[in-house]
Structure 1
């Protein structure tokens, strides 16, 4: 098992756009294994590489009845339906909020071997794809919150025992 420490709010890697994967090698296979093991250890629905300190465009998921990973993912929204549902984040313990997301998305990318991956998903899996892709773009779900929810979340973060003084919570 290769569980890695989860990077927490305030770590600059979480606010930086991750790099495209260009080498499909043993290191990438190990990264995917680390992501899956870490996600399962923390009982997450998904995890992106920056959350374990690796600035590459990879995420793993175990959500609904779907399990896997996507390298260099992109997605497109399918239809106009939106959903509002509660989200949390392994990198921001203790904070949960309702977030508005597209109900259905079509995901494209490749797997750890460079083979094409493409699927359409809805509901919780669509939420997971959008959340994890946000991580790859350096966007935390805090910025997707309604203003009042974000203000409350920031109050919670100010008092979080795990948050270092250098995190810059405002």
Structure 2
């Protein structure tokens, strides 16, 4: 499926009268259900003034990683670097926090509001080398749209 086909559905969710948390939860479920290689989809946000991320919502298997310190794992590194991070093979990463033994690749895209990194979308795939430039471009677009909620 071309990810651009999901844009109208995402825009409908974002323009709905639901709460921000419900919108984010619905986005996670739409992505997981419609994109074959998205096995876990979640949004992490900066946890107040603490140097850590807190999981807001997700779709996929439960995770123990509700809180992630800045600098730890892929998500924690993105919180510090403010850059997109695509990992083709998580087993090759020294600073990787395993959510599941099934995860083979991961993509994390920061979410900026007024130039500040306030959170990120994190997607795990049970397929190695799962993510492409299309995934990256789509997720950058998605986060720019989500940022308008804040």
Query: TM-score higher than 0.5 here?
Result: no
Give the alignment's TM-score, normalised by structure 1.
Answer: 0.29
TM-score when normalising by structure 2: 0.31
Higher CA-based Rg? 1
